[in-house]
Structure 1
């Protein structure tokens, strides 16, 4: 397993960020109290601040401080969740996943192509293309329901089997139906260097973790 890109040590960043936000909230509260004291010391004796005004201003600063504390707590929980997700995803290294993509992998003269239909379709056509973009095989799949679909292609008689891709054309009452092509790929590593958890796949490169449609 390749763990070279795995980096889940965000504790220091979290601590530094939380400490900075906490210090900022404390500084804001301190400045507010100093201004309030100065305001009370220099108020007009004939028209002093009433208790309601003081109470309202104190409540406002407490609300601001409370929101800052809540933000810190939420950020801490979010970072912990990201770390747990990254650690759990390590178990995917070396395993196969299904992600959006259109590459065709031929093994022993056969290839399985997966796709999803956004709606049921009256007619579905699958085309296999070579590296130059020319169609080398066309399959009419007929009517299909919405959701995940799969087609096993016999590539034993194909003129070429390298650098192949496929596309799906689906219609319902002559209106196009959205089709998402899917492909199986192998997880090589887990990448946490960005803002989102990503998987480094053998053929597809970096793919966001939430793009994975199926495992195994």
Structure 2
């Protein structure tokens, strides 16, 4: 026995239900068309009700039509910008998701020694004649010093193997780093320490895209100085 499904799929109860669940969304084209219709309705109403002794001249009509074109152009431009914003957000979300499980260097002085290895970095705004990196324990005491010369501007990843000033090995744990850079004897203000962390997850919301990095915090893509 053949079953007629045309009524069910198009205009029957199921079709009505589907239309209710998935209503047609208004598009920028629909909005522009609606504005044009309203404008033309107002213009025709003006023409019908104009004073026969003082009718609208061609310049007035041309001016109003030009306004219509301007409004339509602005609506189309806004629609294009909305589309570009959507594409940018999608691209940014994808880029952030790809950061998961990647090690990154971000501004910070925390240093974690694990398995006899601690990754960190320095961010140099300008080149320096000398750079001194102090590694400090929880009490703030410097336990190891790294001296570098002729350091170029940019981001530089570094590794500390836990060796102390007396040649012994420091126990695994939390430490801190301090960076001092000089050129011609003058201290530079644009030298900063970078801490290392691994991106665990990504969250999105009204505040934008956030990278969640354990033991470091919640940061933005702009905070990332280097991906390792």
Normalising by the smaller structure, the TM-score range is: 0.7 to 0.9
1:7-65 C-alpha deviation (Å, 9 max, x unpaired) = xxxxxxxxx9x838666655544443343333333433333222222122222222222
Equivalent-residue separation in structure 2 for 1:213 and 1:178 (angstroms): 14
User: CA 1:122–1:41 in structure 2 vs 1: closer, same or farther (change >3 Å)?
Assistant: same
- Per-residue CA distance 1:145-199 (angstroms, 9 max, x = gap): 2112244334243766533221212222315240232222111112122352222
Task: Say if 1:175 and 1:164 are closer, same or farther in 2 by CA, change over 3 A.
Answer: closer
Q: Give, in whole Å, the separation in 2 of the partners of 1:200 and 1:156.
A: 30
Residue 179 of structure 2 corresponds to residue 168 of structure 1: yes
Aligned length: 200
Q: Encode CA deviations 1:97-151: one digit per residue, 9 max, x unaligned.
A: 2223222121333423311211111232222233454544443323312112244
Task: Indicate the residue corresponding to 1:75 in structure 2.
Answer: 82
> Gaps spanning 5+ residues in structure 2: where?
1-22
CA RMSD of aligned residues (A): 3.0
Structure 1: state its 5+ residue gaps: 1-15
Q: Contact 1:121–1:177 at 8 Å: present in 2 too?
A: no
How far did 1:203 drift? 2.1
For 1:37, the equivalent position in structure 2 comes to: 44
Larger radius of gyration: 2
Query: 2:197 aligns to what?
Result: 185
Relative contact order: is structure 1 or structure 2 higher (C-alpha 8 Å, sep ≥ 6)? 1
What residue number does 1:47 align with? 54
Per the alignment, do residues 139 and 32 of structure 1 end up closer, same or farther by CA in structure 2, a change over 3 Å counting?
same
**Cα distance in 2, alignment partners of residues 207 and 155 from structure 1:** 28
User: What is the 5 A alignment of 1:1-216?
Assistant: 19=26, 25=32, 28-157=35-164, 162-173=173-184, 174-216=186-228
SS of equivalent to 2:59: helix
Please state whether the residue corresponding to 1:128 is helix, strand or coil: strand
Matched residue of 1:68: which SS?
Answer: helix
Return closer, same or farther for 1:144/1:36 CA change in 2, 3 Å cut-off. Answer: same
